């Protein structure tokens, strides 16, 4: 009842694992959704060279 | 009103609402009603109200007061307002193993009830860490670590 | 919109990830364990930077909301929305991190202490801003509602920060350079800068998407839902 906390790595791994998963996952979604190609699909008016389907 | 004037009126109103809300809260208008825990002194002052109700008590575990019996899962310790020279202290009984950081001289918050005999029966013992982060010293004096806990 | 801002968003995001990775590597493998918390104390290097940056992102969102109401420009509506969304993600992450840190140190996953309560309110308040935004179809009204709600929700940011001083709490008061050993302060600051740079990249990326969405909406305001039944009624008479 006087030493430092033992066996804490499980919590550390959980916190870092969740944090990196959320941040990387969110970054992937945010970057994919903001690619020039994705934006011209969303709004063909923004880039006359890209929106061939519209 | 033009759309622009209307928008700016909304801006002024929003800032006023936000500013006054913050002013009221920082001036302590809500602070008195938002009590997370009572110190031992406050429990003593309000002993009539405190008995029987579920409350939280926060303070510092007094030197030499910890009695932990693993076989019966019974934990007894004394809590004071600060680490030393405390006017009021309370004896706390708990029926579970404390968190690993629990020790003499550390800040704790316990949840439970004040019994008629003046001791505190805790259902939950929580340990408070100070805002200090230190590397371990070889057999060093851990008491140095509690400078901020003593402000409790 | 040019694709240059995409390059900027991508560069910030990748750089932020790299800096954060370095900070975390130092924090996890080089810095010492904490005297009382042991290895659990290493959660410091991700939890505290997340908290700081959530507040900074919300501060930017607050400024964008003021600009949005003052100028009425669509781009500030997009900046406000992007910041609120990124800040909310960081806040929800913060609550999960804190909960997993609280269990081994304090002994509980959650307690309604002032810092925890006000932080939960923060996530909920900005979550409501995002929800509100989805419920309003008319662009000008939505812009005003988003900005007003953001300004009001922002009140909680200084309250979260000061909660540990204004009220008794289980959460410790703010750490300062004096209260953190130098060997721990280095990975803390590196990680904080890393997550800041990453957050900037995320806000720019979300701003691009939101701006394009608003522009598309303005060009083709064919809202399929609300007015349709009314027209049918009038025709049948």
Which residues are paired to C52 by β-bridges?
none
Specify the pLDDT at position C223. 56
d(CA C24, CA C80): 30
Indicate the residue of B36, B127, B135 with minimum beta-carbon distance to C107: B127
CATH domain C4-236 topology: 1.20.120
Cβ-based neighbour number of residue B20 at 10 Å: 11
CA–CA distances in Å: residue C138 to residues B14, C142, C230: 20, 6, 17
pLDDT, residue B83, reads: 82
Q: What is the rounded average pLDDT of the residues A42-54?
A: 52
Please report the residues numbered 98 through 137 in chain B whose beta carbons come closer than 8 angstroms to any beta carbon of chain C.
98-101, 109, 124-137
C142-180 pLDDT per residue, tens: 999 999 999 999 999 999 999 999 888 999 999 888 899
How far CA C127 is from CA of B18, C53, C75, C83, in Å, comes to 18, 17, 21, 12
DSSP letter for each residue of B2-20: -HHHHHHHHHHHHHHHHHH
**Is the CB of B103 less than 8 angstroms away from the CB of A6?**
no
Paired sense of beta strands B54-61 and B107-114, if any: antiparallel
| The dihedral formed by the CA atoms of C108, C112, C113 and C119, expressed in degrees to the nearest 10 | 100
pLDDT, one tens digit for every residue, chain B (152 residues): 898 999 999 999 999 999 999 998 888 766 566 789 999 999 988 888 888 889 999 999 999 999 999 999 999 999 999 887 678 899 999 999 999 999 999 999 999 999 989 899 999 999 999 899 998 875 444 444 444 444 44
CA C152 from centroid of its chain's CA atoms:
15
- CA-nearest of C22, C10, C74, C23 to C185 is C23
> So what's the pLDDT on residue A50?
43
Contact C132, A54 (CB under 8 A): no
CA–CA distance, B57 with A11 (Å, rounded to integer): 28
B98: chain A residues, CB-CB within 8 Å: 1
Rounded Cα distance between C169 and C164, Å, is 6
In the prediction, which pLDDT does B144 show? Answer: 45
pLDDT at position A52 over 50: no
* Contact with chain A for residue B64, Cβ under 8 A: no
Rounded to 5 degrees, what angle do the CA atoms B29, B33, B36 make?
Answer: 125
pLDDT at B75: 96
DSSP A47: -
Residue A49, pLDDT above cutoff 60 = no
Strand partners, B56: B111
- B121 interface with A at CB cutoff 8 Å: no
CB C69 within 8 A of CB C26: no
A9 Cβ under 8 Å from any chain B Cβ: no
Which helix (DSSP H) or strand (DSSP E) does residue C163 occupy? helix C156-166
* Tokens of residue C29, six digits: 């493998």
What is the predicted ipTM?
Answer: 0.89
- CA separation for the pair C61, C203 (Å, rounded): 10
Residue B114 host element (H or E): strand B107-114
pLDDT for res C135 = 96
What φ, ψ does residue C187 adopt, rounded to 5°?
-65, -30
Residues 64-93 of B with CB under 8 A from C: none
CB C76 within 8 A of CB C220: no
Compute the distance between CA of residue A16 and CA of residue C12 in angstroms, rounded to an integer: 21
R_g over Cα of chain B:
22
Q: What would you report as the CA-atom Rg of chain A, rounded to the nearest whole angstrom?
A: 22
Q: How far is C229 from chain B (nearest CA, A)?
A: 28
Neighbours of chain A (3+ CB pairs under 8 A): B, C
pLDDT less than 50: residues of chain C: 231-237
Give me the DSSP letters along B13-61.
HHHHHHHHHHHHHHTTTTGGG--S-B-HHHHHHTHHHHBTSEEEEEEEE
pLDDT at A41: 87
pLDDT score of C226: 52
Question: Which residue of B26, B127, B131 is in closest CB contact with C106?
Answer: B127
| Run of H or E residues at B90 | strand B89-94
Q: Any idea what the Cα angle at residue C170 is, between residues C177 and C182, rounded to 5°?
A: 15
Query: Which of B4, B22, B129 has the CB atom closest to C158's CB atom?
Result: B22
Fill in the DSSP letter of residue B150.
G
Taking CB atoms and an 8 Å limit, are C43 and A33 in contact across chains?
no
Beta strand extents in C89-152 (DSSP E only) = none
């Amino acid at each position: 009842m006087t030493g430092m906390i033992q066996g804490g790595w499980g919590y550390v791994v959980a916190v870092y694992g969740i944090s990196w998963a959320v941040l990387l996952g969110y970054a992937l979604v945010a970057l994919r959704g903001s690619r020039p190609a994705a934006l011209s699909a969303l709004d063909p008016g923004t880039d006359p060279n890209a929106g061939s389907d519209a | 009103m033009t759309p622009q004037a209307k928008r700016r009126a909304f801006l002024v109103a929003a800032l006023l609402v936000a500013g006054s809300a913050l002013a009221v809260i920082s001036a302590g208008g809500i602070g008195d009603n938002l009590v997370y825990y009572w110190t031992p002194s406050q429990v003593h002052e309000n002993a009539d109200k405190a008995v029987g109700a579920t409350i939280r008590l926060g303070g510092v575990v007094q030197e030499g007061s910890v009695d932990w019996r693993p076989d019966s899962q019974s934990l007894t310790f004394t809590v004071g307002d600060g680490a030393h020279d405390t006017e009021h202290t309370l004896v706390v009984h708990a029926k579970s193993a404390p968190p690993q950081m629990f020790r003499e001289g550390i800040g704790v918050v316990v949840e439970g009830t004040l019994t008629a005999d003046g001791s505190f029966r805790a259902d939950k013992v929580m340990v408070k860490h100070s805002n200090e982060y230190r590397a371990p010293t070889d057999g060093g004096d851990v008491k140095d670590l509690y400078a901020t806990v003593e402000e409790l | 919109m040019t694709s240059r801002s995409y390059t900027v968003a991508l560069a910030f995001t990748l750089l932020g990830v790299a800096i954060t990775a370095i900070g975390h590597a130092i924090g996890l493998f080089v810095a010492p364990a904490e005297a009382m918390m042991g290895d659990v104390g290493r959660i410091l290097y991700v939890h505290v930077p997340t908290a700081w940056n959530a507040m900074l992102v919300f501060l930017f969102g607050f400024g964008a909301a003021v600009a949005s109401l003052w100028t009425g420009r669509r781009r500030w509506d997009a900046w406000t929305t992007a910041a609120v969304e990124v800040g909310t993600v960081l806040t929800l992450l913060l609550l999960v991190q804190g909960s997993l840190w609280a269990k081994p140190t304090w002994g509980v996953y959650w307690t309604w202490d002032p810092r925890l309560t006000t932080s939960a309110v923060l996530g909920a308040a900005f979550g409501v801003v995002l929800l509100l935004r989805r419920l309003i179809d008319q662009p000008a009204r939505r812009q005003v509602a988003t900005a007003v709600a953001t300004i009001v929700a922002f009140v909680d940011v200084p309250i979260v920060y000061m909660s540990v001083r204004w009220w008794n709490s289980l959460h410790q008061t703010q750490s300062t350079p004096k209260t953190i050993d130098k060997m721990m302060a280095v990975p803390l600051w590196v990680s904080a800068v890393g997550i800041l740079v990453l957050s900037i990249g995320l806000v720019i990326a979300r701003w691009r998407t939101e701006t394009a969405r608003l522009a598309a909406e303005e060009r083709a305001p064919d809202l399929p839902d609300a007015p349709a039944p009314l027209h049918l009624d009038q025709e049948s008479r």
